[in-house]
Structure 1
Amino acid sequence: MELHELTIHELNDLLKKKEVSAVEVTNSYLKRINEVEPKVDALICETADFAIKKAEEADKMIRDGNINDLTGIPVVIKDNMCTENIRTTCASKMLEDFIPPYNATVVENLNSLGAVMVGKANLDEFAMGSSTENSAFKTTKNPWDLERVPGGSSGGSAASVAADECAFSLGSDTGGSIRQPASLCGVVGMKPTYGLVSRYGLVAFASSLDQIGPITKDVTDCAIVLNAITGHDPKDSTSVDNVRKSDYKEFLKDEIKGMKIGYAKEFFRQGLDEGVKKSIENALKTFEELGAEIREISLKYMDYALAAYYIVASAEASSNLARYDGIRYGHAAEKYEDLIDMYMVSRSEGFGKEVKRRIMLGTYALSSGYYDAYYNKALKVRTLIKQDYEKAFQDVDVIVGPTSPTVAFKIGERVEDPLAMYLADVYTVPVNIAGLPGLSLPCGLSEGLPVGLQIVGKHFDEGTILNAAYAFEKACNFTAKPSFKGGAK
């Protein structure tokens, strides 16, 4: 196997034994990026010179005996996380020339461990979308079929891992934006519990829902990256400081006998592809064969989750994006008549269609006369959904189901139908609303394309999710790889 095909833990073994250097590993990934990036368009920018410099520093760390799990390991960062002196655009013309003077906390964490950033990943503009077609700069393609979307909004992050352009990536998840693209690209993606990972330096979309998480090639790597990015951060007021720091690798056991696994009857509804349904049913059988106890549960308010999410998320987005006015920072119009016109023209030119749609929806929901009818009601529904999960977790340890109702859809298929696009997140949105952790991992193929299994756990119980995912991964033995043409090879 080539170096760029290996997992984090396989590369780490080679680096520890000094069979390869960090520079050699990095060069392997940079060569891979040159080969496949013109087909996939996963990256907004490549950081080759920066990567070589970081790899040289990692080699010095290794020579000094300071190697850890991520020293010398190439990573791609979603381009809505601040990187010091490196452009951070959020895939928007509004921030096309923005160069942050500081690093996001997660980026600082990775740098301190000697990880090597090889690029910034493409995304739906300001993380608003489910296909990475809303980027102002390019449309990312799915490595499994270049005519299909990689999912979104972390489509570039997921596609870069699936295409072996990096060993792992970081994404952000507001309504499924890590798990859904991970599902469509056949990789592992995890949204941690809200508050477990610092959001400092993440450009805000919806502050009560946003969460940073890892996208990796397998479950072991997911645990490794989670170790690196979790922990209290005083710079983030929502960062939780009373949770004991775990070593998530300790939960990587293939023994799940007696674990109570729930599946909601609401998952198997109209709109779920037959091929996806079959893969999920087979996954439930696999868990049963592993000794887990399968129980049917009900999440009766799930039908209202999507509507509540798009009101709450859009309301928070309209507030967070108000700061981009063309004066303090962001794109500034060159031609305008007066101050008000400058605001209007700057924002009209800087924001794309989907971002404008959500700003308008959110502003309407927060406006006088409609606040109680929409926003306040959505918050009440949010509470009911959280209570749904609390009740379910009295009887089960984790809840499993599909990550996405379909496999990857064709590029352009849903662009003009936002409601159809929003339905791509029907299984992931409730998890964000409740602030729970959730993980997607591949569980089979349908139409030659990967199907994702979602495992959801209790607050701050990432360990149990990883235990279930690791056991399933070993039993399932999903080895299919993208063909860069159509389906698996």
Structure 2
Amino acid sequence: MRVKAKRFAEDDGGGPCRMTAPHQWTAQECAVRVGQRSTQATEVAVHFIERVTRINPSINALVQFRPDDVLRQAREVDARIDAGEHLPMAGVAVTVKDNLWVEAYTVTQGSRLFKDFVAPRDAWVVQRLRALGAVVLGITNCSEFACKGATDNLVYGTTRHPEDLKRTPGGSSGGAVAALASGLGLLALGTDAGGSVRRPAAHTALVGHKPSQGLVPNPWGFGEPNYGVSVVGLLAKNVADCAWFFDQVGDFDGSDASAPPLPVDWQALQCSLRAPSKDVRIAWSPRLGCGFAIDADIRLAIEQVVDRLASAGWNVAQADPPWGESVSTYPMDALQHAGLHALHGRALQAATTEIDPHLKAQIESGALKSASDRASVLRARDRIQRDLGTFFSNFDLLLCPTVPVIPWDNTSIAPTHVEGRTAGLRDHAVFTPLFNLCGVPACSVPVATVRGFPVGLQIVAPRFQDPLVFAFAGLTERLLARSSTV
């Protein structure tokens, strides 16, 4: 692999630097530089190849990485630009989670059942990224079938938190966030069926956005155990890049059953660069009205940010959505388990030792779910959607924590305690799934550091109000940046 490329000086905070390196650029800056030919896509690719080779072995974030293919893609981008083509995402290095198809790559869903599966085509969103000039840097690790809150599996092993290799970055998009937080790429694709993008983003100081259901098409690929609630999620290092990412990949595709039936105007980037009106009605809900446990220092750190927003003149009131007590047990578990059994129950019988024991338990649980059980859960989902809709008749935005704990030991599926209480397997994940059930946009923005680790504020709005979410996320990011320089 011989490519002559410029040497980028890296500024790691030690002093003046004549030129920042590509992993320190924003995604938009990279696209402009490559598009205007101040640098080439191949030069950017070589830089990221070197970083992956050097950094990835310690964190195990990328599990499929082909330097020759990365260079091939970059050369194609340079050739297209030289031929006069305009590429909005020229040379931007993007990683893809191991449950989204990338043509000719092994894509396993973190499962030995798919260890030899080679994707026959690109996922819709990967196809779009290539058309826009982005470069797929590699495939990132995830928990088996993306159905655990920590990132480890029997195929590739454990992904480690970049700031503490003994801790988890969360899951199931843990490989995506560990890579991006380590400067292995400029954007990352994940999936989010119950917080699998937002929670890992919060644990690694990234912006993670779960779009409104149907706004990022995903009409083909693997069967989805969380049918109707899972979406393609977007990860970036700042709000403007995340909004820009959304603008590039948000679209309508009638072959996606969750696509909105009518055109939706989602000019997110433009909204993210200006503050929303101060007439926006904002609710702050520290426990989501469900009594969810949250470590006291995390709650205090987030409340201080909410207080700062109120002091800056924003109309913030403490209020909880009016849903019933049943939501505190996350009723959709029954559908995930039933979905897993429908997809993989037969394989479990034939290859029981090939499946993660935690996933085996979920699949076996799914076998016990009756039609009446599933119907009851779907009726509960209708009530949850109605209750949140009622809440949004009085408020435009809902603020709540993203995660109630800091990252935990990477040998455990979940933390043992939250707020001093013995924690169940899902108690670290309670603040995110309800918004999947409702199909609404939700974004995690890093707002504080607690015990040396980041925590996130989750910003939620009614369905298709993604631009408002980005606008307020951008406002929050700017407010915190200003206060940190005072």
TM (norm. structure 1) is: 0.88
Give the alignment of 1:214-293 within 5 angstroms: 214-256=234-276, 257-264=278-285, 266-267=287-288, 269=291, 271-293=293-315
The one-letter code matched in structure 2 to 1:221 is D
Pick the aligned partner of 1:181 from 200, 206, 212.
Answer: 200
The 1:422/1:270 distance shift into structure 2, 3 A limit, reads closer
The 1:270/1:438 distance shift into structure 2, 3 A limit, reads closer
User: What is the aligned partner in structure 2 of residue 445 from structure 1?
Assistant: 449
Give the alignment of 1:46-57 within 5 angstroms: 46-57=65-76
For CA contacts below 8 A with separation 6 or more, give which structure has more relative contact order. 1
Post-superposition offset of 1:161: 0.8
In the alignment, structure 1 residue 307 sits paired with structure 2 residue 330: yes
- Give 3-state SS (helix, strand or coil) of 1:365's partner: coil
- Give 3-state SS (helix, strand or coil) of 1:119's partner: strand
Cα distance in structure 2, aligned partners of 1:146 and 1:231: 38
Cα distance in structure 2, aligned partners of 1:356 and 1:295: 44
Give the alignment of 1:89-488 within 5 angstroms: 89-134=108-153, 136-203=155-222, 204-256=224-276, 257-264=278-285, 266-267=287-288, 269=291, 271-301=293-323, 303-305=325-327, 306-322=329-345, 325=347, 344-346=349-351, 348-366=352-370, 371-372=371-372, 374-414=373-413, 420-477=424-481
Post-superposition offset of 1:65: 3.6
Cα distance in structure 2, aligned partners of 1:355 and 1:383: 27
Query: Unpaired segments of 5 or more residues in structure 2?
Result: 1-19, 417-421
Post-superposition offset of 1:101: 1.3
Answer yes or no: is the 8 Å Cα contact 2:266–2:464 preserved in 1: no
Post-superposition offset of 1:426: 0.2
The one-letter code matched in structure 2 to 1:384 is R
Q: Could you report, residue by residue, the CA deviation over 1:127-149 in whole angstroms, capped at 9, with x for unpaired residues?
A: 01011134532100111211110
Q: Could you report, residue by residue, the CA deviation over 1:233-283 in whole angstroms, capped at 9, with x for unpaired residues?
A: 233222224133533211123423222111225348462112211221122
- Give 3-state SS (helix, strand or coil) of 1:62's partner: helix
Cα distance in structure 2, aligned partners of 1:111 and 1:270: 41
The one-letter code matched in structure 1 to 2:94 is V
Answer yes or no: is the 8 Å Cα contact 1:134–1:354 preserved in 2: no
Post-superposition offset of 1:419: 6.5
Answer yes or no: is the 8 Å Cα contact 1:406–1:424 preserved in 2: yes
- Give 3-state SS (helix, strand or coil) of 2:332's partner: helix
The 1:143/1:301 distance shift into structure 2, 3 A limit, reads same
Answer yes or no: is the 8 Å Cα contact 1:403–1:453 preserved in 2: yes
- Give 3-state SS (helix, strand or coil) of 1:424's partner: coil
User: What is the aligned partner in structure 1 of residue 82 from structure 2?
Assistant: 63
- Give 3-state SS (helix, strand or coil) of 1:69's partner: coil
Aligned length: 456
Query: Structure 1 stretches (4+) deviating beyond 6 angstroms?
Result: 416-419
- Give 3-state SS (helix, strand or coil) of 2:259's partner: coil
Percent identical? 26
- Give 3-state SS (helix, strand or coil) of 2:331's partner: helix
The 1:386/1:40 distance shift into structure 2, 3 A limit, reads same
Answer yes or no: is the 8 Å Cα contact 1:437–1:457 preserved in 2: yes
The 1:304/1:478 distance shift into structure 2, 3 A limit, reads farther
Post-superposition offset of 1:180: 0.6
Post-superposition offset of 1:178: 0.6
TM (norm. structure 2) is: 0.89
The one-letter code matched in structure 2 to 1:451 is V
The 1:65/1:400 distance shift into structure 2, 3 A limit, reads farther
Once structures 1 and 2 are overlaid, which stretch shifts more, 3-12 or 214-223? Answer: 3-12
Cα distance in structure 1, aligned partners of 2:245 and 2:324: 30
Cα distance in structure 2, aligned partners of 1:129 and 1:289: 39
Answer yes or no: is the 8 Å Cα contact 1:197–1:231 preserved in 2: yes
User: What is the aligned partner in structure 1 of residue 17 from structure 2?
Assistant: none
Post-superposition offset of 1:302: 6.5
Answer yes or no: is the 8 Å Cα contact 2:266–2:466 preserved in 1: no
The one-letter code matched in structure 1 to 2:349 is M
Cα distance in structure 2, aligned partners of 1:290 and 1:69: 35
The one-letter code matched in structure 2 to 1:198 is P
Cα distance in structure 1, aligned partners of 2:136 and 2:25: 17
Cα distance in structure 2, aligned partners of 1:416 and 1:425: 10
The one-letter code matched in structure 1 to 2:428 is A
- Give 3-state SS (helix, strand or coil) of 1:454's partner: strand
The 1:102/1:414 distance shift into structure 2, 3 A limit, reads closer
Answer yes or no: is the 8 Å Cα contact 1:131–1:155 preserved in 2: yes
Q: Could you report, residue by residue, the CA deviation over 1:319-347 in whole angstroms, capped at 9, with x for unpaired residues?
A: 2334x64xxxxxxxxxxxxxxxxx7233x
- Give 3-state SS (helix, strand or coil) of 1:77's partner: strand
Cα distance in structure 2, aligned partners of 1:85 and 1:62: 25
The 1:383/1:419 distance shift into structure 2, 3 A limit, reads farther
Cα distance in structure 1, aligned partners of 2:314 and 2:117: 50
- Give 3-state SS (helix, strand or coil) of 1:87's partner: coil
The 1:450/1:364 distance shift into structure 2, 3 A limit, reads same
Q: Could you report, residue by residue, the CA deviation over 1:190-239 in whole angstroms, capped at 9, with x for unpaired residues?
A: 11111112122342221111100211111111111112222122332222
Answer yes or no: is the 8 Å Cα contact 1:191–1:437 preserved in 2: yes
The 1:286/1:58 distance shift into structure 2, 3 A limit, reads farther
User: What is the aligned partner in structure 2 of residue 75 from structure 1?
Assistant: 94
The 1:478/1:277 distance shift into structure 2, 3 A limit, reads farther
- Give 3-state SS (helix, strand or coil) of 2:63's partner: strand
- Give 3-state SS (helix, strand or coil) of 2:162's partner: coil
